[in-house]
Amino acid sequence: MSELHKFIFDGLPVRGIVVRLTSAWTEILRRRAANTTAGAYAPAVQQMLGELLAAATLMQSNIKFEGALVMQIFGDGPVKLAVVEVQSDLSLRATATVVGAIDAGASLSDMVNRDNLGRCAITLDPGRRFPGQQPYQGVVPLCGDRGEKLERLSEVVQHYMLQSEQLDTTLVLAADDQVAAGLLIQRLPMQGAGNLAGGMRSMADEDQIGLNEHYNRIAMLAASLKRDELLGLDVDTLLRRLFWQERLTRFEALTGDAAPRFACSCSAQRVGAMLVGLGQEEAQSIIAERGEIEVACEFCGAQYRYDAIDAAQLFNPLAAGGTSSAQ
């Protein structure tokens, strides 16, 4: 099962989160693979999308925010768009639009940043907006300050976090066809009476960037985490192996019903209602031409199919016949 664990380092201005998405992630992959038009993701795309999803889950659980955190990569390579969305209750979904073939060893820039035009956008969209309230959006390029292409998604997100929150953050991300996982280590904002005056606080925090010895030590330990360890180790073993010399306080883990989980708002009912809106004549003419109506959810890839009998039942619910099915 998917799980998320938060912890702090006792007496130090450093906190951390580990996320392991298993069932939530494989359900996303399963829906995509079952889509007869798009088909399964190439392994390199799978890794990128899984890492993006793990990063978004870490960021959503790291902030106090009611609404959707959406991370998008607008690519200038064969992956045109990758989108992940994580709600404040940690329900999540993800998709990528791929045009053309992706080599097995494709790098991040091969896929989304060929000409350094790739961008990563992070949007916080409150569920219920006040009048005039706009979603917050931050955008960072997929290159460093000197235009060098970033080949790790974790570097892109670290860059964003430093820009938007003025806080040092270290991320380790990994994904394969079973697990999408991430570790986040972040320096906490300075606290204390002297820092309460608005501007003072952020200046003091900015002065601390890169300088806090405790954070630097812990960040180096975190950065030593190997991809295979992050994917393969259980959370207890992972934290013990990395931080055995540190004192940690763990918070109650989010598992079971509280764990991150897949959810998409599409359903056979919604698609059925849309077809009813289209009208019986139009629906029947599509079926006459193609044998069935197929509607795919843009966000999870699920395909909903209606043959002549399904359609008859849809427009005349009392008629006997087959049922529509989602795959």
Query: Per CB under 5 A, which of residues 302..321 are in contact with Zn ion?
Result: 302
Least distance to Zn ion, CB of residue 202, Å? 40
Q: Among residue numbers 103 through 122, which ones bind Zn ion (CB under 5 A)?
A: none
* Segment contacting Zn ion by CB under 5 A, of 2-10, 165-173, 289-297, 314-322: 289-297
Least CB distance from residue 28 to Zn ion, whole Å?
A: 10
CB-wise, 35 or 280, nearer to Zn ion?
A: 35
Strand order of the sheet with strand 261-262? 136-141, 119-126, 67-74, 79-87, 91-98, 261-262
Per-residue x/- mask for Zn ion, residues 209 to 248, rule CB under 5 A? ----------------------------------------
Does 92 help bind Zn ion (rule: CB under 5 A)?
A: no
Give whichever of 190 and 263 is closer to Zn ion, judged by the CB atom.
263
Residue choice 19, 297, 311, 312 for contact with Zn ion (CB under 5 A): 297
Of 57-65, 133-141, 173-181, 262-270: span binding Zn ion (CB under 5 A): 262-270
What's the Cα-to-Cα distance from 152 to each of 14, 159, 215, 315, 324, rounded to whole Å?
Answer: 23, 11, 21, 51, 43
Shortest distance, CB of residue 263 to Zn ion, whole angstroms? 9
- Cα torsion through 197, 198, 199, 203, rounded to 10: 80
| Least Cβ distance, residue 264 to Zn ion (angstroms) | 3
Rounded least distance, CB 232 to Zn ion, Å: 30
- Selected from 4, 83, 264, 314, the binder of Zn ion by CB under 5 A is 264
Question: Which residues on neighbouring strands pair with residue 7, listed in sequence order?
Answer: 16, 250
Of 172 and 268, which CB lies nearer to Zn ion in the complex structure?
268
Interface of this chain with Zn ion, residues 29 to 58, rule: CB under 5 A: none
Shorter beta-carbon distance to Zn ion: residue 41 or 215: 41
* Part in contact with Zn ion (CB under 5 A); list of ranges 61-69, 215-223, 246-254, 296-304: 296-304
> Which residue carries 């890492």 as its tokens?
51
CA distance 317 to 315: 6
What are φ and ψ of residue 313, in 5° steps? -70, -35
CA neighbours within 13 Å on the CB side: how many for 71? 26
Cβ at position 198, least distance to Zn ion in Å: 43
Which of residues 90, 102, 181, 300 is near Zn ion by CB under 5 A?
300
Residue choice 156, 266, 271, 312 for contact with Zn ion (CB under 5 A) = 266
Nearer to Zn ion, 65 or 299 (CB): 299
Name the residue type at position 95: T
Nearer to Zn ion, 45 or 264 (CB): 264
Q: How far is the CB of 6 from Zn ion (least distance, A)?
A: 29
What does the binding site for Zn ion look like in residue numbers (CB under 5 A)?
264, 266, 297, 299-300, 302
